[in-house]
């Protein structure tokens, strides 16, 4: 399904510049929010981008924008489901945490900057994951509420129908014209009731 490489770990020298390296750098990103964040950082020239050469900035921006477009296409054509995306996101968080430890272990300025950059990416992905999970929970809760509301409405409709069925014979009896069999039967009932005990011996 993927048309771009998705290496499991950063290639050596991925931060050294060059079109191929920038393509690899972008292809390693699994998070849509991280791509967007990287582009913002790049535009502001902060963090690791503060002293980056202009030609490398241009190459990285092009690679990141291509990656972002590719992710959008995957979502649009349905080749990337939410479950698959969240699974990628979880793996990427773990992988990025490992990168941060590796960069920090260099004990130099560049390693420290790269470690900080990696940890910021972890934070972005965790927030994205949490937001996605909360949205799923809210959607599930809405679905349950809709089902329950539908069941309640259906039960109320059945009860109203049953009530109408019970009321129909009484309504027909009350509306019967005088002289009709039902009216006569009713009048006979009334006379029988009015006769009382005095009629018992007749």
For 3-39, what is each residue's pLDDT tens digit?
Answer: 333 333 333 344 445 677 999 999 999 999 999 999 9
Give this prediction's pTM. 0.62
Instruction: List all residues 6 or more positions away from 37 whose beta carbon is below 8 Å from its beta carbon.
Output: 120, 121, 124
CB of 70 closer than 8 Å to CB of 3: yes
CB of 119 closer than 8 Å to CB of 100: yes
Closest CA to 2 of 74, 68, 75: 74
Q: What does the alpha-carbon distance between residue 51 and residue 8 come to, in Å, rounded to a whole number? A: 27
Angle between the N-to-C axes of helices 32-44 and 54-76, in degrees from 0 to 180, rounded to the nearest 10 = 160
Instruction: List all residues 6 or more positions away from 107 whose beta carbon is below 8 Å from its beta carbon.
Output: none
Interval 92-145: pLDDT, tens: 999 999 999 999 999 999 999 999 999 999 999 999 999 999 987 776 676 666
Q: Which residue would you say has higher pLDDT here, 17 or 177? A: 177
Does position 173 have pLDDT exceeding 80, yes or no?
A: no
């Amino acid at each position: 399904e993927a048309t771009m490489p998705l290496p499991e770990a950063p290639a050596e020298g991925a931060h050294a510049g060059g079109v191929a390296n920038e393509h690899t750098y972008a292809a390693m990103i699994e998070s849509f929010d991280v791509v967007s964040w990287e582009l913002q950082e790049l535009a502001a020239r902060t963090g690791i981008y503060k002293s980056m050469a202009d030609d490398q900035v241009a190459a990285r921006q092009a690679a990141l924008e291509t990656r972002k477009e590719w992710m959008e296409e995957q979502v649009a054509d349905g080749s990337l489901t939410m479950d698959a995306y969240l699974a990628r996101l979880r793996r990427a968080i773990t992988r990025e945490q490992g990168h941060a430890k590796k960069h920090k272990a260099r004990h130099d300025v560049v390693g420290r900057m790269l470690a900080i950059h990696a940890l910021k990416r972890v934070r972005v992905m965790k927030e994205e994951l949490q937001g996605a999970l909360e949205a799923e929970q809210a959607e599930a809760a809405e679905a349950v509420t809709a089902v329950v509301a539908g069941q309640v409405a259906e039960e109320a409709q059945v009860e109203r129908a049953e009530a109408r069925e019970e009321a129909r014979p009484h309504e027909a009896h009350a509306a019967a014209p005088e002289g009709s069999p039902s009216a006569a039967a009713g009048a006979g009932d009334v006379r029988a009731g009015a006769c009382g005990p005095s009629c018992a011996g007749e």
